[in-house]
């Protein structure tokens, strides 16, 4: 049902994603670091999810204070309620910005994008209710402010439900390697002959049932799981940049040595393996925990 509701917004969603992507690209290097900040790359976790918790918590607190004031005649709560709804509004703005940053990387004209833009539009309108409530409180109209808060709260409740649907049904913003570390081996295991591993070129190989990408630099071999943690693209189709590899889909950058994230949108490190050349064979062990 949510997919059908979001489909009429598909054109708007595609256009929005294109504009947001163009803004980050137009900013160049600073845009890359801004994207890392907003994606939560530095946090190792989606920043959007953190800010959403602040929105819901602050709005719930403000609503409780208003209920106590209006229905139970508790006095002296106006200032506290104003601060709480103001916090919800600021966190809501941050949630919208971080949400747009993640949204630009959804697949064009997909069900995921359709539902995500529906989620975003509803929360945008809900945040407008918080803005109205905040302005009314600053003008001393606390009774009118309550209704703006109530409408906004109900809307972000619906938006939050849709956000949960995105995570649990589509795995939106979930680490693609979270539930599968791939093959585990206590001993080194042969994966391919050393002669078949070219110098300084991402090469896909099989480590049991797990696809890995290998990069050879002389006698040193780096090995990462081939599935990008951000959106599942194959890193073996990526580009080497110094001691890193860049994903071909959304340009996440990982260190070859340990899979740590250098640049997002990925927030979770890439699974890495111990690798060596033993005689005429390439062998892997692990992965690293």
pLDDT digits (tens, 9 = 90+) for 119-147: 999 999 999 999 999 999 999 999 999 99
pLDDT band at 1 (very low <50, low <70, confident <90, very high): confident
For residue 183, the model assigns a pLDDT of 65
pLDDT reading at 90 higher than 90: yes
d(CA 270, CA 204): 15
Structure tokens at 71: 């229905």
Strands 210-217 and 203-207: antiparallel
pLDDT reading at 197 higher than 90: yes
pLDDT reading at 82 higher than 80: yes
DSSP string, 60-97: HHHHHHHHHHHHS---S-HHHHHHHHHHHHHHHHHHHH
For residue 289, the model assigns a pLDDT of 64
CA dihedral sign of residues 65, 59, 132, 2? negative
For residue 210, the model assigns a pLDDT of 92
Section 27-45 average pLDDT:
94
Rounded CA Rg of the chain: 24
Enumerate domains of the chain plus CATH numbers.
2-170 (no CATH), 185-286 (2.102.10.10)
% of the chain residues with pLDDT over 90: 91
For residue 62, the model assigns a pLDDT of 98
Residue 281, SS3 per DSSP: strand
Contact 122, 116 (CB under 8 A): no
pLDDT reading at 288 higher than 80: no
Structure tokens at 229: 């943690």
Mean pLDDT of the chain: 95
Whole-angstrom CA distances from 164 to 158, 161, 167, 214, 266 are 10, 5, 5, 36, 20
Section 102-129 average pLDDT:
96
pLDDT reading at 212 higher than 80: yes
For residue 236, the model assigns a pLDDT of 97
d(CA 211, CA 199): 19
pLDDT reading at 182 higher than 70: no
pLDDT reading at 13 higher than 90: yes
Section 49-57 average pLDDT:
97
> Residue 61 CB: number of other CB atoms within 10 A?
17
Section 196-218 average pLDDT:
95
Q: How would you class 50 by CB atoms within 10 Å of its CB: exposed for 0-12, middle for 13-18, buried for 19 or more?
A: middle
d(CA 56, CA 63): 10
**Which residue, chain included where needed, has tokens 């959106």?**
231
Contact 237, 250 (CB under 8 A): no
pLDDT band at 181 (very low <50, low <70, confident <90, very high): low
pLDDT reading at 231 higher than 70: yes
Section 241-263 average pLDDT:
96
Q: Which residue has the higher pLDDT, 264 or 288?
A: 264
d(CA 189, CA 205): 12
pLDDT band at 178 (very low <50, low <70, confident <90, very high): confident
Q: Which residue has the higher pLDDT, 173 or 243?
A: 243
d(CA 135, CA 131): 6
DSSP string, 204-245: EEEETTEEEEEEEETTEEEEEESB-TTT--BGGGSEEETTEE
Alpha helix stretches (DSSP H) within the chain:
2-6, 10-26, 28-39, 47-71, 78-103, 111-138, 142-170
């Amino acid at each position: 049902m949510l997919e059908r509701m979001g489909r009429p917004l598909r054109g708007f969603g595609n256009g929005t994603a294109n504009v947001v992507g163009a803004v980050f690209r137009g900013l160049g290097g600073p845009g890359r670091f801004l994207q890392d900040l907003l994606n939560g790359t530095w946090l190792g976790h989606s920043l959007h999810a953190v800010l959403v918790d602040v929105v819901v918590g602050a709005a719930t607190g403000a609503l409780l204070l208003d209920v106590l004031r209006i229905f139970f005649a508790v006095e002296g709560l106006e200032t506290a309620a104003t601060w709480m709804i103001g916090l919800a509004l600021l966190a809501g703005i941050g949630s919208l910005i971080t949400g747009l940053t993640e949204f630009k990387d959804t697949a064009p004209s997909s069900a995921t994008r359709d539902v995500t833009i529906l989620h975003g539009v509803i929360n945008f309108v809900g945040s407008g209710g918080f803005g109205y409530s905040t302005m009314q409180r600053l003008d001393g109209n606390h009774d009118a402010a309550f209704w703006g808060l109530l409408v906004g709260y109900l809307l972000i409740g619906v938006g939050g439900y849709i956000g949960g649907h995105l995570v649990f049904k589509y795995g939106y913003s979930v680490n693609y390697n979270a539930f599968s570390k791939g093959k585990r081996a206590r001993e080194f295991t042969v994966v391919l002959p050393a002669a078949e591993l070219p110098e300084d070129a991402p090469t896909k190989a099989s480590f049991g049932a797990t696809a890995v990408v290998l990069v050879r630099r002389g006698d040193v071999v780096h090995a990462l799981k081939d599935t990008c943690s951000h959106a599942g693209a194959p890193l073996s189709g990526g580009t080497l940049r110094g001691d890193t590899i860049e994903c071909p889909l959304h340009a996440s950058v990982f260190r070859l040595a340990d899979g740590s994230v250098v640049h997002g949108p990925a927030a979770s490190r890439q699974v890495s393996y111990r690798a060596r050349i033993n005689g005429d064979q390439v062998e892997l062990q692990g992965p690293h925990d």
